[in-house]
Structure 1
Amino acid sequence: MKSMLSRYILQGRTVFLSCALAIFAFMLLRVWSITLLGSEEFREIIKHFKDFEKFSPVPFSQLITYTGRVARTFNEPIVLFVVLIWTISRGSDTVAGQLNRGTMEMLLGNPVSRRCVYWSQFLVTTVGTLALASLAWLGMVVSVHLNTVQEVIKPPTLEIPFVPLEIPLSTAEPTIVEKPMSDFVDVMDFLPALTIIFAMGVFVAGFSSMISSFDRYRWRAVGIAVGFVILQQTMRILAISKPEYNYLLNFTFFNPFDPEGLVNVFNEDYEQYWQFWQYGMQGTIRLSGLGCHGILLGFGLLCYLIGSWRFSRRDLPAPI
């Protein structure tokens, strides 16, 4: 087992180091870019896009806060892209990649079982996925503690009841004060984003490994996995765009993958976060923290088990 783990770590180290550097650097820069626009300025911009609030997993009132905007970075396409590169590349290599290279027969010629070969790859891929998710969170933590934000302090005003009018009580100009970003953002609030990225990675890696166990060509396993991800994202976009297609959310893994929504629930209703279902004010029901993680991790492990069962029983083609 130890030699197998060392083998797979060496095979995946280049991809992992590239992905690790990319996701850490992106989170550093992305969180820094948030400091360039204050909350009040962002509020003025976002109020013109009220019609697009249905595409946001959280209300705009939450999105304009620094916590909401930082949570949004965990759902950026680049973060997804980096995690998908790692999980699909390693998952597709589990069986089909080694068959494609002609190394599987030589590997199994040693006193090692197929299950050992399969689950060693699972262990390396899973630990790598957890490390990437942790690096995304650490990049955010470092950026939050390094950067400052500008807070505009307006002079006192008197609000007139029932009239949208404010009377200034001072002729002083608004003052701008720089404060550490950490005063507005608690980095521990984003642990749900870390864990849901990991859960999503486990699911995609499990699906890729399952496809790899049924195939002999790595390029085809990669193509099927990438096509599956694109199809799932297309279904999600269609579901949130038109109410009549809302049922499609039940068939895409991008529905439980909701970093912004989970961070919001974690902060606003901690007890609700640990429930399987989340009940809305208008009778709506959706997955809560436990449900989102359980669905992704559960189906990911199921895919791994199916792949292990198939690999243990299939006839391996001779190397070409």
Structure 2
Amino acid sequence: MNAALWRKAIIEARLLLVCSTGLLFGFHWIFVWLSSYISLGGMRDFLLTLPVEWQQISGVGVDEVATVMGRIGLAFMDPVVLAVTAIWAIARGSDVVSGEIDRGTMEMLLAQPLRRVWVLVAHAVITCGGAALLAAACWLGTWAGIATVTLEEEVAASAFVAPALNLFALTFFVCAFATLASACDKYRWRTVGIVGGFYMLNMIVKLVARMGHNLDWLRQYTFFGAFEPQRLAGPWGESVGLLAHYGGILIGLGLMCYVMAAVVFCRRDIPAPI
């Protein structure tokens, strides 16, 4: 029966995963191509004319954004990338418990000779594996762009391994939080609303922390405070320490959410389908 659980999780996730990885791969390739059309000097002059508050939104200094590496690194925090990874995490995480209950299939699933925790384990492994593939697609798209596009300065694709890993850690946490919310609820639409609202609230707090002169302390109250891929772009030896700090926070919080989800799901009563 465990094999059937794995097949079920893969079949349910494969279409969204294929579409998402293809979109992220193409987006990062195109992003590198578009970056090649931006003049280094012109970019720096333009950014220097912006108000200080606007310059703070990117999270990096003007000199870093004005470099090819800095511009390419911004792709990992682009709204398109954040939207695709959030859709994957929320869609898959919200489905594991409340989705099955909402469809009336959870009672039939648990009637089989299997432990409840395996339902979560199989779903979580496929979901987190998909998150890793999304991050890999971002890096491969960047690598393909660097390999095929002529840039004004040489950039190594290895400089963007750390940003990709930071993106994976963020997606892992959102997957885990969505799973926890799903384990506590019986309606998928409500789970999606709760997790989506939580995601947007944290994003707004991060934006306020960047734009406010004396509001940087707000970063410690949002999980986006541990998501700074543009700061991680560069040689591995220079970014591994900061990556370990950010990744430790996000992965640690994610593991806590998964453990709590397992405890809640294994102890809760499953309502009968109506």
Equivalent residue letter for 1:71: G
Secondary structure, aligned partner of 2:137: helix
Aligned partner of 1:198: which letter?
F
C-alpha offsets along residues 78-123 of structure 1, whole Å, 9 cap, x if unaligned?
Answer: 0010000101000001100001111111111111110001111000
What residue in structure 2 maps to residue 83 of structure 1?
A: 85
State percent identity of aligned pairs.
Answer: 33
Aligned partner of 1:170 in structure 2 is none
Could you say which residue in structure 1 is the equivalent of 2:156? 186
1:255 — aligned with what?
225
Q: How far apart are the structure 2 equivalents of 1:40 and 1:141?
A: 24
Please tell me the residue identity of whatever aligns with 2:39.
G
2:261 is equivalent to residue 310 of structure 1: no
SS at match of 1:74: helix
- One-letter code of the match for 1:89? A
Q: Deviations over 1:209-259 (max 9, x none)?
A: 000000000000000000001100111112222234332211101111010
Per-residue CA distance 1:155-176 (angstroms, 9 max, x = gap): xxxxxxxxxxxxxxxxxxxxxx
Higher relative contact order (CA 8 A, sep 6+): 2
Map of 2:190 onto structure 1: 220
Matches within 5 A, 1:201-216: 201-216=171-186
Residue deviations 1:26-47 (CA, integer Å, cap 9, x gap)? 1111111001112122223222
2:3 aligned residue: 2
Partners of 1:5 and 1:93 in 2: how far apart?
15
Letter in 2 for 1:252: T
Q: For 1:148 and 1:219, locate their aligned partners in 2 and report how far apart those are by CA, in whole Å.
A: 46
Q: What displacement does 1:19 show?
A: 1.0
C-alpha contact (below 8 Å) 2:9/2:126 kept by paired residues? yes
Task: Show the counterpart of 1:93.
Answer: 95
Higher helix share: 2
2:32, 2:112 → 1: CA distance? 49
Structure 2 unaligned blocks of 5 or more: none
Name the Cα RMSD after superposition. Answer: 1.4
Structure 2 CA distance, aligned partners of 1:73 and 1:87?
19
Specify the code of the residue in structure 2 equivalent to 1:96: S
Shift of 1:55: 2.3
Aligned length: 272
Q: Matches of 2:160 and 2:22 in 1, distance apart? A: 20
Task: Spell out, residue by residue over 1:11-65, the C-alpha distance to the aligned partner (whole angstroms, 9 max, x if none).
Answer: 1111111211211111111111001112122223222126233223221111111
| Unaligned residue ranges in structure 1 (runs of 5+) | 152-182, 276-287
Runs ≥4 residues deviating over 3 A = none
Residues 175-214 of structure 1 show CA distances to partners (whole Å, capped at 9, x for unaligned) of xxxxxxxx61100011111101110011000000000000
Give the Cα–Cα distance (whole angstroms) in 1 for the partners of residues 34 and 193 of structure 2: 34
Secondary structure of 1:184's counterpart equals coil
Within-5 A mapping of 1:121-200: 121-149=123-151, 151=152, 184-200=154-170
* Bigger shift: residues 42-51 or 294-303: 42-51
SS at match of 2:113: coil
TM-score (structure 2 length as normaliser): 0.95
